[in-house]
Amino acid sequence: MKRMMSRAAGHPWLEIIRRQLPLALLTILIVALAVPGAMLVAPALTGQRPNPEGTDSTAPAWQQVPRDLSLPQGISPLKDSAPVPWPDTLAAQLNATLKADGGGSFTGVVQDAATGQVLFDRGGSEGRVPASNMKLLTAAAALRAIGPDQRFSTKVVSGAEPGSVVLTGGGDVLLGAGESSQDAVMGHAGLATLARLTVKSLQENGVTGPVQVRLDDSLFTGPALNPTWSLDDVAAGETAPLFPLALNSARYDPAVTTGPRPQDAAMAAAEAFSAQLTAAAAAAGLSVTPGVERAKAPASGTVLAEVQSATLRQQVDLMLQTSDNYLAEVLGRLAAVASGQPGSNDGATATVYKQVQDLGIPADGLRVADVSGLSLGNQVSASQLAEIVRAITSGTEPGLRAAIGGFPVAGLTGTLGNRYTDASTERGAGLVRAKTGTLNSVIALSGYVVDADGRLLVFSFIGNGLDPGAAGNRTALDRTASALASCGCR
């Protein structure tokens, strides 16, 4: 901000704007920096590229460090004529920053998004524990298998016994306890709305006796926990037993994203629905029998009420931005169901593996033990992750573009919101868009950036065997990605 002021002081009209419209200017600046990555790289992603023009050696305004942007200049389209970094020059910069703090090592790959040319490769084919970078594979698999605009329904169906209703989970684990909120992702579908619609249908059907609530959560099968997960991670709330319906992504409170989770999220949601139904029924002169039991909805049952989730693309955005393990695992199981596989751990991992293969990405050494990245049994190479990012940003399947907005933006959003704030990394603030990944001795960062010359680059850096808690490892990743953002490596 001080640099902005000093620059404004040299130009009277800028000083006037700075004094009169500080809040408006700040708002415009934030919006300009937070424009979804899809807008930033849209011409490269859609294939609608401008005619080649001469290369401008001056970095465009949108590529500058955020605090140096005195006035928004808009987004310049990518050019075919933008130079590709020289690999040797790029390697010299990245090798200087990509160093482990203590034990362990980093592998990494950088590619030109348009051509696939590998510009930097340090052990890129080596299988590594990817931590939450695994969610990039899951996002791509779910979008391919399900479709970005698909929604998941939570229904109330008439039960086999007179007066009984069956709450049936269809994969929405972002249910809210109150009324549906159409502008939200978490809580897009609300149990209070579902209860109110249910009572209306019961009245229309002439139901007068006590109503008994049942729960059908049979969409998912097999163990509710992945056997490769640490029970300590489960106890700490990193994830929870998986069900096809839950409140707040299996959290007690949507605003509290740490600590223990419900161990039977489906029953917790059913009991919350029963409470909402009781209140709505009382106002209509009906009663609800206390208690909820599990029972499969009859095939001949009538749908009494239904609420639908946010779209898959919105859920993928949330999953990537917040690195939600529970949501990732649920989306993996839903992808399996959509592919004709069981909605189980094995179904999810098999589906993600196959979807990666079907994208044409070599699966040599790929091991999928879970689909959220909590498992130490996962093995993914930096090359495979970079190719996934390239498929999302620049591949031939438009449906994968739905994941672009989910990449956290350095210094602004999601799991990168509080990073890229010091002098060694600020060059990447507002520019680097990447998925984070952290386990005890693992750290990873995979994403994309438009460099100072206007070239779209994709990258993946993975550290394994690191000293737990060594702060320099995160800094090494952020400095390396920042070097890419500011690169005019020719």
Say if residue 89 is exposed, middle or buried (CB neighbours under 10 Å; 0-12, 13-18, 19+).
middle
Dig out the tokens for 414 from the structure: 């999601």
Residue 167 DSSP code: E
Nearest-5° Cα angle at 170, 335 to 314: 60
CA distance 68 to 62: 10
Q: Which of 135, 155, 354, 435 is catalytic?
A: 135
Dig out the tokens for 96 from the structure: 């200087």
Closest CA to 326 of 397, 268, 251: 251
CA distance 173 to 242: 9
For residue 321, the SS3 value is helix
Residue 170 DSSP code: -
Q: Could you tell me if 146 and 332 are in contact, meaning their C-beta atoms sit under 8 angstroms apart? A: no
CA atoms within 13 A on the CB side of 188: 21
Dig out the tokens for 38 from the structure: 């899809």
CA distance 361 to 400: 14
Q: Could you tell me if 477 and 73 are in contact, meaning their C-beta atoms sit under 8 angstroms apart? A: no
CA distance 402 to 312: 9
Cβ contacts of 267 within 8 Å, gap of 6 or more? 215, 292, 294
For residue 291, the SS3 value is strand
132 tagged catalytic: yes
DSSP H stretches of helix in 21-62: 22-33, 37-40, 42-46
CA distance 230 to 122: 30
Q: Which of 309, 323, 344, 394 is catalytic?
A: 323
Nearest-5° Cα angle at 83, 78 to 85: 115
135 tagged catalytic: yes
Dig out the tokens for 342 from the structure: 């069981």
153 tagged catalytic: no
CA distance 25 to 1: 12
Q: Calculate the CA dihedral of residues 36, 40, 41, 45 and round it to 10 degrees.
A: 50
Q: Could you tell me if 458 and 113 are in contact, meaning their C-beta atoms sit under 8 angstroms apart? A: yes
Q: Which of 70, 79, 132, 164 is catalytic?
A: 132
Dig out the tokens for 6 from the structure: 């000093």
CA distance 310 to 398: 20
CA distance 75 to 73: 7
Strands 288-294, 211-216: pairing kind: parallel
Residue 181, Cβ neighbours under 10 Å: how many? 15
Residues identified as active-site: 132, 135, 323
